[in-house]
Amino acid sequence: MSHKSFVWICLLPLAAVTAAFFVLPMARLLVTGAEGPRGLAEYLAILAEPRYRATLLNTVLLAAANTIATLIVATIAGLFLQRHRFPGRAVLVAILTFPLAFPGVVIGFMIILLAGRQGLIGDVSSRLVGDKIVFAYSIYGLFLGYLYFSIPRVILTIMAAAQKLDPSLEEAARSLGAGSWAVLRDVVLPALAPALVASGAIAFATAMGAFGTAFTLATNIDVLPMLIYTEFTLAGNLATSAALSVGLGVMTWLILALARSFTGNSVAAAG
């Protein structure tokens, strides 16, 4: 057997599995989206139908707020951890990165333990001010949940990028009389920009498509993945749910592709 045909044989199983369980189903999803009473216009419903548009706007705003908050939190903590060595640092890094592999459902439960009916925040607040604060099942709980799973993803990227920064640039800026804020604003943050864009895109795309957390906290949250789920299971609306999930998939893919073309890095949004 020639080397060339061996290489083809090596590739064959992957081609078969991918075609059968990804490419073909995705094509089916695209077709189904246009098979409803509205036909191809189903794909526009995500923008044209007021209820879907409101949900889309809600989802985008929530994902954007989550991305900004995560970037701020992770940059402060990530830069700090990369620049200082102190006892217990390794433990802090481990704590900040472990939740990376927690599924969305588990993160939803973490938020319930924190801000749910039997949660820590409600417990402390009822003891301090006699008022039980419970917000796990609202959009604020979902925001907190997204923060919980975005921070580990972003902090790792920022720490890796901060490690590669050239310290002599900062020293030069400082010797020229720049204060710490000026150094941060004019030297450090611009150097971190590609990492911030890449990890911000991951945080945004993941928050757009996250289902498990919203599902666990569910009661009165209106986000796109929950809408797709209810359209499919409760309303049995195949075409709408297919068209909406194609729309969602195109959006998350576009965000990641844009970030990738900007940074030249491949990025992924698992979860």
Partner 1 sequence: MRNRILFTLQFLFTLLVAAFLAVPAGLSIAAGVTVNYFRGLQSGVTLQWVAQVWDLYAGTILASIMIALGTLAVTLVVGVPAAYALYVRGGRLARLVEEIITLPLAIPGLAIALALLLTYGGFGSFRRSWLFILAGHVVFTMPFMVRSVMAVFATIDVKSLDEGAASLGAPPWRRFVDVIVPNAAPGILAGSLMVVTLSLGEFNLTWMLHTPLTKTLPVGLADSYASMRLEVASAYTLIFFVLIIPLLVAMQWIGERGQSR
For residues 185-244, which are near partner 1 according to CB under 8 A?
205, 208-212, 215-216, 225, 228-229, 232, 238, 241-242
Among 108, 122, 141, 200, binds partner 1 (CB under 8 A): 108
Per CB under 8 A, does 140 bind partner 1? no
Among 111, 161, 192, 195, binds partner 1 (CB under 8 A): 111
Stretch that binds partner 1, among 26-34, 47-55, 124-132, 166-174 (CB under 8 A): 26-34
Among 34, 73, 133, 165, binds partner 1 (CB under 8 A): 73
Question: CA–CA separation, 149 vs 110, rounded Å?
Answer: 11
| CB-nearer residue toward partner 1: 156 or 196 | 156
Question: CA–CA separation, 66 vs 74, rounded Å?
Answer: 12
Among 34, 64, 65, 105, binds partner 1 (CB under 8 A): 105
Question: CA–CA separation, 134 vs 259, rounded Å?
Answer: 37
Closest distance of CB 93 from partner 1, Å = 9
Alpha helices, DSSP H, located in 184-220: 189-209, 212-217
| CB-nearer residue toward partner 1: 56 or 210 | 210
Burial (CB count <10 Å: 0-12, 13-18, 19+), residue 27: exposed
Closest distance of CB 229 from partner 1, Å = 7
Burial (CB count <10 Å: 0-12, 13-18, 19+), residue 145: buried
Per CB under 8 A, does 25 bind partner 1? yes
Question: CA–CA separation, 19 vs 22, rounded Å?
Answer: 6
Among 40, 41, 68, 120, binds partner 1 (CB under 8 A): 120
Per CB under 8 A, does 80 bind partner 1? yes
Stretch that binds partner 1, among 37-45, 61-69, 169-177, 262-270 (CB under 8 A): 262-270
Q: Which residues, 6+ apart, have CB-to-CB distance to 75 below 8 Å?
A: 158, 189, 192, 196
Contact 212, 108 (CB under 8 A): yes
Per CB under 8 A, does 269 bind partner 1? yes
Q: Which residues, 6+ apart, have CB-to-CB distance to 110 below 8 Å?
A: 102, 145, 148
Per CB under 8 A, does 104 bind partner 1? yes
Contact 132, 166 (CB under 8 A): no
Closest distance of CB 105 from partner 1, Å = 5
Contact 218, 226 (CB under 8 A): yes
Per CB under 8 A, does 40 bind partner 1? no
Under rule CB under 8 A, how many of the chain's residues touch partner 1?
A: 87
Closest distance of CB 221 from partner 1, Å = 15
Question: CA–CA separation, 108 vs 141, rounded Å?
Answer: 9
Among 61, 235, 258, 268, binds partner 1 (CB under 8 A): 268
Question: CA–CA separation, 200 vs 265, rounded Å?
Answer: 13
Closest distance of CB 139 from partner 1, Å = 18
